[in-house]
Amino acid sequence: MSQYLPVQNPTKPFWLSEEDQEVATLRSTPELPKEVDVVVVGSGYAGTTTSYYLLENSPSTSILMLEARNACSGATARNGGHLKPDLYYAHNAFKSKYGEKGAAEIINFEHDHIRGLKQLVEKEKIECDFVLTRSCDVHLTPGAVEKAIVNYNAMTQNPYVKCKDDLQIAYGEAAKVISKVEGSPVCVTYTAGQLWPYKFVIGIMKKNLAKGLNLQTNTPVLHTEKLKNGKYLVKTSRGDVIAKQLVLATNAYTASVEPRFEDKIVPIKGACSHIVSSDPSKRTPHLTNTYGIRFDGADTDYLINRPDGSVILGGAKKHIYPHKSLFYKVVDDSTLIPNSKEYFSESMKKLFYTWKDFDSKVDYVWSGILGYTDDSLPYVGELPGDKNKFIIAGFHGHGMPRVLLCAKALAKVIAKKSKVLEIPSAFKITKDRMENTKNEILESLGTPSTEKAKL
Ligand SMILES: Cc1cc2nc3c(=O)[nH]c(=O)nc-3n(C[C@H](O)[C@H](O)[C@H](O)COP(=O)(O)OP(=O)(O)OC[C@H]3O[C@@H](n4cnc5c(N)ncnc54)[C@H](O)[C@@H]3O)c2cc1C
């Protein structure tokens, strides 16, 4: 069995405090079907929304979804619930690789996700605590401040960026008042969203099930192979299935079914928490924004203030990225990141002056596995040399503003309703990307090549 399969007994995230008992361990049929039109591997945000749009484009398609653990128990159930497009901070990095147009394509695509998700939640009437809000990026080191200003200004000069009017930068005292963070001389705000990601996906899953999707949980896919007739043999722990088309929505675990992605989509372990008032009769000081909290390099925290007053805070990367063996190519989300609970417990008082005298506690802390890619962008499309085998994976800590419209576009191609995959060109699978052997992940995270002692 592959070392990259999801592990059993994962830590319990806040989002699974209301695990859906109808769907969590569902096996739509007692046995696996012998043959179907499409097998989708993975029941997270990517697999579930791709199936949704596939059924919308082609209602008679038979879809079998195979999931290694309980339904939607991967990154989607362990994330920060933050629908926060990156509209400027990576602008120059994208521009240097993909040009002004390419950078704008990614920015515009991410911005479109806010409306896209809101419309889908409303259309399907999914109760998932969706809140339309503004995110506030605060910058707590001179390096982060400089990077924010340089990239913000460059983004405003890019003629292809359509959402410039949605961003606002504030300096000095105004930045501190707006952000409620004393240590941030610059803040940038823009439209964002927050939601209960597990409930969103399970809501969509139920629509799919009503349309005939066959879900088989706790059924890991061990291997796939192409048959002479062009169909795919999918081997699972519970027997084999034949499929005309195959979709890998396996994110961090892609190498478990597609070994050629071993150094292209790498499992990276992350940490997140849920924070509540120590005294249930006292409301937490409400933060009107969601937050990106930036220190140097890749050291960032992220935060949403939920409509029930609780806070989801993730990151703690100071305790992760210096120690390669703790997080790199790690699929084990059954254990916590050392020191993450202590880090999250102290953060609110340290960060926000409105929380300085307020007592809160961490009631859930968990880990999750993110799929980082060698060049930092997702892989979406048909796999070269493997007709009818598709992938939608590699979404870093940034899937919420990227997956939905990738899934929508990919489903049209799978259903043969479109020949063109309408996603940013840089997300597509090209020969160059597949042949690229430079893996930028550790460098981008600032991880030293020699392991530091763990704290
Ligand atoms: C701690 C943490 C915090 C994050 N915070 C945010 C955030 O605030 N905002 C944001 O935009 N993004 C965030 N992310 C990233 C985001 O959660 C992901 O990008 C997104 O959920 C990816 O969805 P997915 O469906 O591709 O992956 P997943 O939800 O991981 O789904 C993949 C599924 O495939 C299954 N699978 C894999 N291999 C096999 C196999 N061989 N056989 C059968 N099943 C298999 C897995 O069990 C899993 O259920 C965070 C991630 C983590 C871990």
What Å distances lie between residue 343 and 15, 127, 165, 222, 249, CA to CA? 20, 31, 36, 37, 32
Q: What is the C-alpha to C-alpha distance for residues 6 and 189, in angstroms, rounded to an integer? A: 36
**How remote is the CA of residue 372 from the centroid of ligand 1, in Å?**
11
**How remote is the CA of residue 253 from the centroid of ligand 1, in Å?**
9
392 CA: nearest ligand 1 atom: 26
**How remote is the CA of residue 369 from the centroid of ligand 1, in Å?**
7
Mutate-to-test residue for ligand 1 from 66, 290, 395, 410, highest number of ligand atoms within 8 A of CB: 395
* SS3 of residue 332 by DSSP: coil
pLDDT of residue 455: 46
In b/e form, how buried is each residue of 170-189, taking b as 16+ CB within 10 angstroms?
beeeebbebbbbeebbbbbb
Backbone angles phi, psi at 305, to 5 degrees: -105, 105
**Does residue 131 lie in a domain region?**
no
**Does residue 431 lie in a domain region?**
yes
Domain count within the chain: 1
197 CA: nearest ligand 1 atom: 21
The radius of gyration computed from the CA coordinates of the chain, to the nearest angstrom, equals 21
Segments in the chain below pLDDT 50? 455
pLDDT digits (tens, 9 = 90+) for 173-186: 999 999 999 999 99
251 CA: nearest ligand 1 atom: 26
**How remote is the CA of residue 7 from the centroid of ligand 1, in Å?**
14
Enclosing H/E stretch for 178: helix 172-179
**Does residue 89 lie in a domain region?**
no
pLDDT of residue 21: 97
Output the CA torsion sign for 196, 202, 206, 212: positive
Tokens of 298: 């890749």
398 CA: nearest ligand 1 atom: 11
pLDDT of residue 451: 65
Token pair 């704008």 is found at: 104
400 CA: nearest ligand 1 atom: 11
**Does residue 36 lie in a domain region?**
yes
**How remote is the CA of residue 313 from the centroid of ligand 1, in Å?**
17
- Asked if 337 contacts 271 with a C-beta cutoff of 8 angstroms, the reply is yes
**How remote is the CA of residue 400 from the centroid of ligand 1, in Å?**
10
**Does residue 155 lie in a domain region?**
no
Q: What is the C-alpha to C-alpha distance for residues 300 and 293, in angstroms, rounded to an integer? A: 5
Instruction: Count other Cβ atoms within 10 Å, centred on residue 149.
Output: 17
Q: What is the CATH number of the domain that holds 209?
A: 3.50.50.60
Nearest CA to ligand 1 atom 8: 80
pLDDT of residue 322: 86
Query: Burial of 235 by CB count in 10 Å (0-12 exposed, 13-18 middle, 19+ buried)?
Result: middle
Rounded to a whole number of angstroms, the distance between the first and last alpha carbons of the chain is 33
**How remote is the CA of residue 371 from the centroid of ligand 1, in Å?**
7
2 CA: nearest ligand 1 atom: 41
Range of the domain at 397: 14-79+198-264+375-438
Mutate-to-test residue for ligand 1 from 82, 248, 251, 312, highest number of ligand atoms within 8 A of CB: 251
Nearest CA to ligand 1 atom 9: 82
* SS3 of residue 416 by DSSP: coil
Token pair 């063109």 is found at: 420
**Does residue 157 lie in a domain region?**
no
Its ipTM equals 0.99
- Asked if 128 contacts 200 with a C-beta cutoff of 8 angstroms, the reply is yes
- Asked if 266 contacts 111 with a C-beta cutoff of 8 angstroms, the reply is no
pLDDT of residue 453: 53
**Does residue 451 lie in a domain region?**
no
**How remote is the CA of residue 134 from the centroid of ligand 1, in Å?**
24
Q: What is the C-alpha to C-alpha distance for residues 406 and 46, in angstroms, rounded to an integer? A: 8
Q: What is the C-alpha to C-alpha distance for residues 231 and 388, in angstroms, rounded to an integer? A: 8
pLDDT digits (tens, 9 = 90+) for 138-196: 999 999 999 999 999 999 999 999 999 999 999 999 999 999 999 999 999 999 999 99
**Does residue 285 lie in a domain region?**
no
Tokens of 372: 């980082």
Tokens of 207: 């629509």
